[in-house]
């Protein structure tokens, strides 16, 4: 592999581990746990993995050894730091016994089912230490949910004498990890399954999980780019920039970038839903700011739009729910039809209220909502050009206001979508250390006989040696939700809390950002230099852990 100068220098970085993970560990167990909701249902569905205690690792003076081959899977969207979860896992299992082997399943969960794997060796892994990307073994979105898949997986697990599988994924992938752990436990196959919290979206977090890995690096990367645009914008003073930011449902990414960059406007989907706002109201709010600034001679600005917005606008959310059910029940009847016939079919089957919403949406947006779910049943919101939809609607409204004499400014806009450019960035020091510790923790959960657990690292706003490591039963994070027309056990997604400290901090100051130009330019991620520049966490985490 040909490497950049940064890659070469970065390979030599030794990730810092919490004191408790630096050598042998012993396990401290807490009290039995309960799921966040629907306890009776979840208990019934997970009789073998429900109620287990949260565990924490403490340093031990005893020599620790363990024979264990491990299989690792990267699942879902890329997130900076994934390679370091694998290096943490690798180094720990080798330390526990140099004959232990680590197998990487290729291109996600599908690799387990199709028996596509590689053995990860010292030579192979060294090229990937502290790098972004998931290319060490690749990732995929195959949903592991069927008994045939679990049994197919078991064949290769037996062949390679694998003691445990580590699934590195988001809420959906960890839900599946939990189902797999329960299945193997129920069958008494003796195969452990451990999850690791990944996703740039930042929505896999709760009382036990401080943050999902990748959020730190991705938001810093986007904030660098937003800051650059803000500076360009403030230099020429002639464009409104509509920037859509990745993050399928929750607006954590947009909120974090807003806290870092202080744009003029940042829409928070969760607020739109809570206030029952219509698309037209959102547009009007934006236009009010544009018009106000125009009166001050400021015909420029920056607007952040979370990728998931469309699903949170209540009328469109309702439409999506009905479309989900329609797709589950009749998708095959209309998927083969041409675009116009599909639209007709859908209109004919929707309730009156949703029909009206569907009919008012631009054709490309309507089509994206009615088709093309990902394997987990999610609308592929990153393919919907919300930034254009909003700017087109603003343009029309401002024209109308001009005619009515309510607006005299100039409105020229540019569009951006920051998503994929943040998912494989070289991990920040935070993600580098956090991920290596997560991998180490996962190895220790296996060595200590745990299954159905997610590796966790807490106290991460403190210096690394004070971080606390352990595991949390995945069932503890579950509740029942409607998916593809059926009630299913799933990990509860963490949305932006409107009474949470990050949103409150933003809410307090946003009017000033709208009126004035208060941009902050965070600049690129730094790996060497003053600690306050290189080792800072996200503003979200800082505020949440205050």
- Closer to ligand FBP by CB, 283 or 304: give it: 304
Could you write out the DSSP letters of every residue in 311-357? HHSHHHHHHHHHHHHHHHHHHHHHTTS-HHHHHHHHHHHS-HHHHHH
Nearest to ligand FBP of 201, 322 (CB atom) = 201
- C-alpha 188/C-alpha 171 separation (Å) is 25
- Taking contact as CB under 6 A, which single stretch among the options 197-205, 323-331, 467-475, 514-522 is the one that binds ligand FBP? 197-205
Give the list of residues 6+ apart from residue 6 with CB closer than 8 angstroms, or none.
426, 527
Nearest to 257 by CA among 418, 460, 386: 418
527 token code pair: 């790996």
**Annotated catalytic residue: which of 37, 91, 123, 201?**
201
HEC string of 55-80 equals: EEEEECCCCCCCCCEEEEEEECCCCC
Q: Is residue 170 within the footprint of ligand FBP (CB under 6 A)?
A: yes
Nearer to ligand FBP, 251 or 517 (CB): 251
In angstroms, give the least distance from the CB of 81 to ligand FBP. Answer: 12
Among 247, 439, 471, 502, binds ligand FBP (CB under 6 A): 247
Stretch that binds ligand FBP, among 75-83, 129-137, 234-242, 458-466 (CB under 6 A): 75-83
CB of 142 to ligand FBP, least distance (A): 12
Among left, alpha and beta (phi > 0; psi -120 to 50; other), residue 96 is alpha
Tokens of 72: 């690792």
d(CA 527, CA 132): 13
Binder of ligand FBP out of 15, 18, 71, 77 (CB under 6 A):
77
Q: Return d(Cα 223, Cα 255) in angstroms, integer.
A: 11
Q: Is 409 in the site for ligand FBP (CB under 6 A)?
A: no
Question: CB neighbours of 363 closer than 8 A, spacing ≥ 6?
Answer: 339, 343
Pick 88 or 109: Cβ nearer ligand FBP: 109
Binding mask 198-217 for ligand FBP (x = CB under 6 A): -xxx----------------
Residue 201 a catalytic site member: yes
Binding residue for ligand FBP, selected from 209, 246, 389, 496, defined by CB under 6 A: 246
Decide: is 262 part of the binding site for ligand FBP (CB under 6 A). Answer: no
**CB of residue 170 vs ligand FBP: minimum separation in angstroms?**
4
317 annotated as ligand-binding: no
Min dist CB 71 to ligand FBP, Å, is: 19
Quote the radius of gyration of the chain (alpha carbons, Å).
24
Interactions with ligand FBP, residue window 480-539 (CB under 6 A): none
* 195 near ligand FBP (CB under 6 A): no
Count residues binding ligand FBP (CB under 6 A). 14
Name the residue among 318, 319, 289 with its Cα closest to residue 301.
289
| Integer Cα distance of 25 and 544 in angstroms | 29
The beta strands (E) that lie in 170-312 are given as 192-197, 240-245, 265-266, 301-306
Nearer CB in complex with ligand FBP: 420/528: 420
The contact set with ligand FBP (CB under 6 A) reads: 76-77, 79, 170, 199-201, 246-248, 307, 381-382, 423
Known binding-site residue numbers? 77, 171, 199-201, 238-239, 246-248, 307, 420-423
State the catalytic residues.
Answer: 201
Known binding-site residue numbers for Mg(2+)? 171
């Amino acid at each position: 592999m040909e490497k950049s100068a940064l890659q070469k220098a970065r390979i030599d970085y030794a990730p810092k581990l919490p004191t408790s993970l630096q050598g042998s560990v012993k396990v401290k167990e807490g009290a039995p746990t309960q799921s966040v909701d629907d306890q009776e249902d979840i208990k019934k569905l997970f009789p073998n993995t429900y109620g287990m205690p949260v565990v924490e690792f403490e340093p031990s003076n005893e020599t620790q050894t363990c024979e264990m081959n491990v299989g690792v899977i990267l699942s879902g969207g890329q997130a900076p730091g994934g390679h370091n979860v694998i290096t943490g896992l690798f180094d720990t299992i080798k330390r526990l016994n140099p004959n232990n082997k680590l197998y990487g399943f290729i291109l996600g969960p599908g690799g387990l089912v199709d028996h596509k794997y590689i053995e990860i060796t010292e030579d192979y892994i060294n090229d990937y230490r502290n790098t972004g990307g998931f290319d060490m073994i690749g990732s995929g979105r195959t949903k592991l949910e069927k008994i045939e898949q679990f049994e197919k997986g078991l064949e290769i697990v037996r062949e390679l004498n694998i003691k445990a599988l580590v699934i590195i994924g988001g809420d959906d992938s960890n839900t599946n990890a939990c189902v797999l752990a329960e299945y193997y436990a129920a069958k008494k196959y003796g195969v452990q399954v451990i999850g690791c919290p990944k996703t740039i979206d930042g929505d896999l977090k709760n009382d036990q999980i401080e943050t999902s890995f990748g959020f730190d690096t991705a938001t810093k990367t986007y904030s660098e780019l937003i800051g650059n645009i803000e500076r360009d914008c403030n230099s020429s003073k002639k464009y409104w920039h509509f920037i859509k930011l990745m993050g399928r449902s929750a607006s954590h990414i947009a909120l974090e970038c807003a806290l870092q960059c202080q744009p003029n406007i940042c829409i928070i989907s969760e607020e739109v839903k809570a206030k029952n706002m219509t698309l037209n109201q959102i547009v009007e709010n934006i236009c009010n700011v544009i018009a106000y600034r125009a009166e001050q001679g400021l015909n420029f600005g920056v607007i952040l739009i979370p990728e998931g917005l469309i699903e949170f606008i209540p009328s469109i959310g309702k439409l999506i729910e009905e479309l989900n059910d329609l797709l589950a029940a009749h998708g095959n009847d209309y998927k083969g039809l041409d675009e116009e016939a599909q639209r007709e079919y859908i209109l004919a089957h929707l309730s009156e209220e949703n029909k009206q919403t569907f009919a008012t949406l631009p054709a490309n947006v309507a089509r994206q909502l009615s088709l093309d779910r990902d394997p987990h049943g999610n609308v592929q919101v990153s393919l919907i050009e919300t930034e254009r939809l909003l700017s087109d609607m603003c343009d029309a409204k401002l024209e109308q206001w001009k005619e009515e004499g309510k607006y005299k400014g100039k409105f020229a806009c540019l569009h951006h979508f920051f998503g994929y450019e943040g998912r494989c960035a070289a991990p920040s020091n935070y993600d580098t250390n956090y991920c290596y510790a997560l991998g180490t923790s996962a190895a220790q959960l296996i060595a200590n006989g745990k299954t159905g657990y997610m590796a966790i690292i807490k106290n991460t706003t403190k210096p690394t040696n004070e971080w606390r490591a352990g595991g949390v039963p995945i069932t503890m994070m579950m509740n029942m939700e409607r998916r593809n027309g059926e009630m299913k056990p799933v990990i509860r997604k963490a949305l932006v809390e409107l009474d949470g400290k990050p949103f409150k901090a933003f809410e307090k100051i946003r009017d000033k950002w709208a009126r004035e130009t208060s941009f902050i330019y965070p600049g690129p991620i730094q790996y060497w230099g003053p600690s306050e520049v290189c080792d800072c966490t996200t503003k979200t985490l800082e505020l949440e852990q205050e």
